[in-house]
């Protein structure tokens, strides 16, 4: 019939190292990143869709007074309405009172989402999560907050004031 076929193998010089061509890592855009916000606004303008400002409830205990003020300032600068459910003094208070207030504001439709702040973030998050339909996530970076919103449909974020810088809290 015919001669046996031998496969053709590409040759390369043996003195050169083999380099694998890896694809570039994907561009990751945080849910709350300025780039994502700008993209959203651009699409809203293109499609003539108005950007909806949100009503946001915020609550804190004595550990989060400065954090709350910085976050409120940033949110109001973006045009959001902020419902202050927290304390404004550094005197010791019970965090559950303010966690329940934020959860009730969302349940009653006064706010779409909420932010709670206490020393560790854990206690106030547990308090909020006692309410039906509340999904409070303990977040100390904006990436964790974005994942909590995107993957867990969190509607409240809990920020640990004693373990997060104010700048980080504002970014969240």
- Give the pLDDT score at 33: 53
Active site residue 62: no
Answer whether residue 42 shows pLDDT above 70. Answer: no
Confidence of residue 35 (pLDDT cuts 50, 70, 90): low
Confidence of residue 8 (pLDDT cuts 50, 70, 90): low
- Cβ pair 60, 116 in contact under 8 A: yes
pLDDT over 70 percentage in the chain: 70
- Give the pLDDT score at 52: 75
- Give the pLDDT score at 10: 56
Answer whether residue 160 shows pLDDT above 50. Answer: yes
* Angstrom distance (rounded) from CA 2 to CA 141: 69
- Give the pLDDT score at 37: 57
Q: What is the CA radius of gyration of the chain?
A: 25
**pLDDT averaged over the chain?**
82
* Angstrom distance (rounded) from CA 155 to CA 14: 59
Give the strand order in the sheet containing 113-118: 81-84, 55-60, 113-118, 156-160, 136-138
Q: Please state the pTM of the whole predicted model.
A: 0.70
Closest CA to 161 of 115, 111, 106: 115
Burial state string for 117-151 with b = 16 or more CB within 10 A and e = fewer than 16: bbbebebbbebbbebeebebbbbbebbbbbbbbee
Answer whether residue 18 shows pLDDT above 90. Answer: no
The pairing of beta strand 55-60 with beta strand 136-138: unpaired
């Amino acid at each position: 019939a015919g001669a046996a076929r031998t496969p053709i193998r590409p040759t390369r010089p043996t003195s050169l190292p083999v380099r694998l061509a890896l694809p570039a890592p994907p561009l990751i855009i945080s849910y709350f990143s300025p780039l994502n916000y700008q993209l959203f606004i651009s699409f809203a303008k293109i499609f003539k869709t108005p950007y909806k400002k949100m009503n946001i409830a915020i609550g804190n205990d004595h550990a989060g007074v400065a954090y709350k003020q910085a976050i409120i300032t940033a949110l109001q600068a973006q045009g959001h309405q902020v419902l202050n459910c927290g304390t404004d003094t550094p005197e010791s208070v019970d965090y559950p009172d303010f966690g329940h207030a934020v959860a009730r504001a969302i349940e009653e439709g006064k706010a779409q989402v909420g932010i709670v702040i206490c020393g560790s973030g854990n206690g106030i998050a547990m308090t909020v999560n006692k309410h039906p339909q509340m999904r409070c996530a303990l977040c100390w970076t904006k990436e964790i907050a974005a994942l909590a919103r995107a993957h867990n449909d969190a509607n409240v974020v809990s920020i640990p004031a004693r373990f997060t810088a104010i700048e980080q809290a504002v970014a969240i």
